[in-house]
Chain A
Amino acid sequence: MKSVRMLCVVIVTFILAGCATTGPKFNELSPTISNLAPDTGRIYIYRTTILGAAVQPDVKINGEVVGSAVPQGFFYIDRAPGSYEILTSTEVDRKLTLTLDKGEIRFVRLGISMGFMVGHVYPELVENAVGQSEIQECRYIGK
């Protein structure tokens, strides 16, 4: 019986280790993040929750894959001012549409909701103060 328990602990440890996100934390990396180019804005995309950790869909912006929805991970993209659609696909597509101005910084949180077979990852626009606070413990997963 004891050996079964030990085995369970080992398996759970392996699973959790597999889920662990590597990379520097936001607060470690932020001093080295480049300043915005004059004619661009920046979108930070992050996921705090480890719920549904195995569900890590691509994140697309206007159809282009820019990253993945990795639990406790973040990345950012700089883009020209304009209109953007951020999309994640699991069983269904979930999208967020937003505008970006010159010099503007926006925070998009990737949440997860219940699905039929797998959870649904959805992007939502959050207040900058909220995003700035929540992203601190996330780890950089950009390229």
Chain B
Amino acid sequence: MKGLYKIILSFFMMVCLVGCAFDLVSVKQVPTKLDTGQPPKNPFVLGKETSADIGTSFNTTLKQGTKWQYVGVIPEGDVYKTRDQVLTVEASNIHEAYIVVSSGNLVGFYLPVEKTFAPISQKMELAIQAVTPE
């Protein structure tokens, strides 16, 4: 009889843990404020594909040859967006994202709907190729 209780208890614990696991992963975000009032910066083209780790099991890839337009600035860096690819950061939920660049390095993502900054695990140097604004 004791053995049966143990089995039932184990089953319920497993159910609870599995239930929690479905919502375990979320994108780490901090609130931030986008300032769009600064003088615009030049767009750039990404010379090399870059894959960034945001601490979830899903990497976010910036494709080679994509053109990035300046949107504004947040305390963590300059914010750029592109129309050349869909860019999202993903965990249990998926969020559209812009990139945040500081001193030529990708430092994280700006989530325009949430108005938050999602840092990447380790900053990454971007292969920035300057282009003249249209």
Q: Which residues of A contact B (CB under 8 A)?
A: 83-85, 91-92, 94-99, 115-116, 120, 122-127
Check B112–A124 contact: CB distance below 8 A: no
In whole angstroms, how far apart are the Cα atoms of A127 and B63 in the complex? 13
Check B19–A125 contact: CB distance below 8 A: no
CB of B107 closer than 8 Å to a CB of A: no
Which A residues touch B90, using CB under 8 A?
A: 124
Check B114–A91 contact: CB distance below 8 A: no
A92-B96 in contact given A97-B111, A99-B113 (Cβ < 8 Å): no
A124-B94 in contact given A92-B22, A92-B23, A115-B22 (Cβ < 8 Å): yes
Which B residues touch A127, using CB under 8 A?
A: 85-86
Chain A residue with the shortest CB-CB distance to B111: A97
Check B96–A94 contact: CB distance below 8 A: no
Check B113–A85 contact: CB distance below 8 A: yes
Check B93–A95 contact: CB distance below 8 A: yes
Check B86–A125 contact: CB distance below 8 A: yes
Q: Which residues of B contact A (CB under 8 A)?
A: 15, 18-19, 22-23, 85-86, 88, 90, 92-96, 111-114
Check A83–B113 contact: CB distance below 8 A: yes
Check A83–B94 contact: CB distance below 8 A: no
By CB atoms of chain B within 10 A, which of A83, A97, A116, A126 has the most? A97
Which B residues touch A84, using CB under 8 A?
A: 113
Check A98–B22 contact: CB distance below 8 A: no
A91-B96 in contact given A83-B112, A83-B113, A99-B112 (Cβ < 8 Å): no
Check B94–A125 contact: CB distance below 8 A: yes
Check A126–B86 contact: CB distance below 8 A: yes
Which B residues touch A125, using CB under 8 A?
A: 86, 88, 94, 96
Which A residues touch B85, using CB under 8 A?
A: 127
Check A96–B94 contact: CB distance below 8 A: yes
Which B residues touch A96, using CB under 8 A?
A: 88, 93-96
B90 CB to closest chain A CB, in angstroms? 8
Check B112–A91 contact: CB distance below 8 A: no
B117 CB to closest chain A CB, in angstroms? 15
In whole angstroms, how far apart are the Cα atoms of A122 and B25 in the complex? 15
Check B94–A123 contact: CB distance below 8 A: yes
In whole angstroms, how far apart are the Cα atoms of A117 and B19 in the complex? 10
Which B residues touch A99, using CB under 8 A?
A: 96, 112-113
Check A98–B23 contact: CB distance below 8 A: no
Check B93–A98 contact: CB distance below 8 A: no
B24 CB to closest chain A CB, in angstroms? 11
In whole angstroms, how far apart are the Cα atoms of A98 and B22 in the complex? 22
Question: 5 tightest A-B contacts by CB?
Answer: A97-B113, A83-B113, A98-B96, A96-B94, A95-B93
